[in-house]
Chains A and B, each alone.
Chain A
Amino acid sequence: MTKANKVEDIIIEEFVCEAPNNQVKKESFASNFKYLIVGTIFGIVFVKAEIISWFRIQEMFRLQSFHMYGVIGTAVVVGMISVQLIKRFNIKTLSGETVLIPNKTFNKGQIYGGLIFGLGWAITGACPGPLFAQIGSGFLAITVTFASAVAGTWLYGAFKNKLPH
């Protein structure tokens, strides 16, 4: 039995990752460290622009500061221009592959799940990204929030088929 067959065995439903790895070429374990570096820079930005602050999230939802709107708005504009340039000029990845960005399909989960996440975002002052940076910044109580977020993801997986989509 080859390793590839074994992997196929464990996949029961068609796997759709929402943030997938679309690279065809196999990557070595060590090559993953480039994502660690990008993540580290990202984490520093989170701390230095105070995006991890519960107060910045409160200011946003109370419409009392432009800061978070500025951050997200600028990020979207820069991301949008980048993606359009990649598509327009068919810019290849470092390993020479065509960039693949899967389209998202609508389901009601985006509304129900989105509302639930929004409620949690205002309480915790964190989306999943800032959770990691908050823990790194020494707010150790957030390890409980993080563990609960993992549990929440697990509960979704367990009850997925009973939920409206």
Chain B
Amino acid sequence: MIELIKQPWHWAVAGVMIGLTVPTLLLIGNKTFGISSSLRHICAACFPANISFFKYDWKKEIWNLFFVVGVLLGGIIGSQFLSNPNEFIVNENTVKDLKALGVSDFSSMMPADIFSVENIFTLKGLIFFVVGGLMVGFGTRYAGGCTSGHAIMGLSNLQLPSLIATISFMVGGFAMTHLIMPYIFKLF
């Protein structure tokens, strides 16, 4: 059994489990699923700076912070105790495309060429960590949610604004991957 769990999970298994998070949170405590709100609660709790957007009773929403601490713990458990003993597999066309851009490490879930601690104070770090992170935090709050709040929770509840947001996420991602990323990799 444990050997089976250690294999990479099929998309259908993951999809069902992520989908079931929606009714689970609703039924155990009337909570609407959404993860990016945790970033707002962190701002409200730590750096409210007299900004009205961060003046609210964040303690009422503390469940969301417990949830994301859980996600972090899940990351530790999944990688420390349940990690895949076999080679990490990336689609061969993706490998070819990324090699052409200059990515050389395909041995784990994040390429060490980019996502290593040594890169934090480099131009790569500035673009992939600092600018990327800013866009994720700014964009999700501007959009009123992320993949979980809009694509999963919002679409589950048949919300048109969430469909518009989800399409925008995808358009942004395609634009970055195909139009902008080739220029970014030329910088290194």
User: Could you tell me which A residues sit within 8 Å of B by CB distance?
Assistant: 7, 10-13, 15, 17-24, 27, 31-62, 64-68, 70-80, 82-83, 85-86, 91, 93-95, 97, 99-107, 109-129, 131-142, 144-158, 160, 163
| Interface residues in chain B, defined as those with a beta carbon under 8 Å from any beta carbon in chain A | 5, 8-40, 42-43, 47, 49, 51-57, 60-64, 66-79, 82-84, 88, 90-91, 93-94, 97-98, 106, 109-111, 114-117, 119-120, 125, 127-162, 164-178, 180-181, 184
How many Å lie between the Cα of A33 and that of B71 in the bound state?
12
Of B52, B110, B139, which contacts A54 at CB under 8 A? B110
Contact indicator A78/B137 (Cβ below 8 Å): no
Q: Tell me the complex Cα distance, A71–B18, Å.
A: 8
- Describe A's contact surface by its main secondary structure: helix
Query: A22–B31 Cα gap in the complex (Å)?
Result: 6
* Shortest Cβ gap from B3 to chain A (Å): 13
Closest to B63 in A: A35
Is the Cβ of A82 less than 8 Å from the Cβ of B106?
no
Ranked nearest first, the 5 interchain pairs of A and B with the lowest CB-CB distance are A43-B74, A118-B172, A39-B70, A136-B75, A74-B15
Partner of A144, one of B114, B125, B177, B184: B125
**By CB atoms of chain A within 10 A, which of B12, B66, B150, B184 has the most?**
B66
25 contacts between A and B (CB under 8 A): A11-B55, A19-B149, A21-B29, A23-B30, A35-B31, A36-B73, A43-B77, A48-B78, A53-B110, A54-B111, A61-B176, A74-B16, A74-B18, A76-B152, A76-B155, A86-B27, A104-B162, A111-B165, A117-B146, A122-B172, A122-B176, A125-B110, A127-B136, A141-B115, A148-B132
Contact B132–A120 (Cβ < 8 Å):
yes
Say whether A76 contacts B151, CB under 8 Å.
yes
Give CA–CA (A151, B140) in the complex, Å.
12
Known pairs A36-B70, A110-B144, A116-B139; A137 contacts B79 (CB<8 A): yes
